[in-house]
Copies of this chain bind each other. A is one copy, B any other.
Amino acid sequence: MSTGESTSDITEGTYRALCKHGYADVTMEDIAAETDKSKSALHYHYDSKHDLLVTFFDDLLESFTERLDAVEGETAYDRLLDLIDTVLLPPDDDSPDRGFQTAILEMKAQGPYDEAFRQHLQAHDRTLRDHVEEHLAAGVENGEFRSDLDVEASADFLVTVFNGAQTRCVAVGRPIEETRETLRAHIDSMIVADGGGR
């Protein structure tokens, strides 16, 4: 088995273990149970649970960036909506994976305490903002979006809304789909030129 396959096995096992047990409670044993590795094999690869989770975070960020890069659509408007679906919906499932969203929220709450996590969270936040900005700037450039749009502030606002939708989904079980509808109204009124919705 190549290192790549082994890594991907551990990544997927970690994903499943986080969904089941949450960030605070997950153990190396839980993760091993979700892979074809023994617990001691995991300890051979990683010094600690923290070390493994930081690597997991790395992989997660990389695959998230790939998904953002793969956003498509004929118009900037279509690409923006596709990005929203990419961020708010999980890759392989129509219903949001609340177990995983919860683990991510737990890790976000570690931001102030954990330097490695914080760097990943900041990189993730920046990558997301950059991608949103790119679609907004393209839409302003080709006349789809308002010429006076504050691209930077709008992108930042959208990223705030994404975070809020994810947090409320975990904390109070509010369906993430509802935010997509309101976001679309926001974009049609605030971002699209002449307030013309599609």
Contacts and interface: CB of A to CB of B under 8 A. Distances in A.
A109 B153 contact: no
Contacts of A185: 150, 153
Interface in A145-198: 150, 153-154, 156-157, 159-168, 170-174, 178-179, 181-182, 185-186, 189-190
A131 interface: no
A16 interface: no
A140 to B, nearest CB: 16
Interface string A97-129: 011001001101101110000100110010000
How many copies of this chain sit in the oligomeric assembly?
2
A22 interface: yes
Nearest to A25: B113
A191 to B, nearest CB: 10
B105 A172 contact: no
Nearest to A99: B112
A114 B121 CA distance: 25
20 contacts: A22-B109, A105-B108, A106-B106, A108-B167, A108-B170, A111-B170, A111-B172, A112-B173, A121-B172, A125-B172, A125-B174, A153-B181, A156-B178, A160-B161, A160-B179, A160-B182, A163-B164, A163-B171, A186-B186, A189-B190
Interface of A: 22-24, 98-99, 102, 105-106, 108-109, 111-113, 118, 121-122, 125, 150, 153-154, 156-157, 159-168, 170-174, 178-179, 181-182, 185-186, 189-190
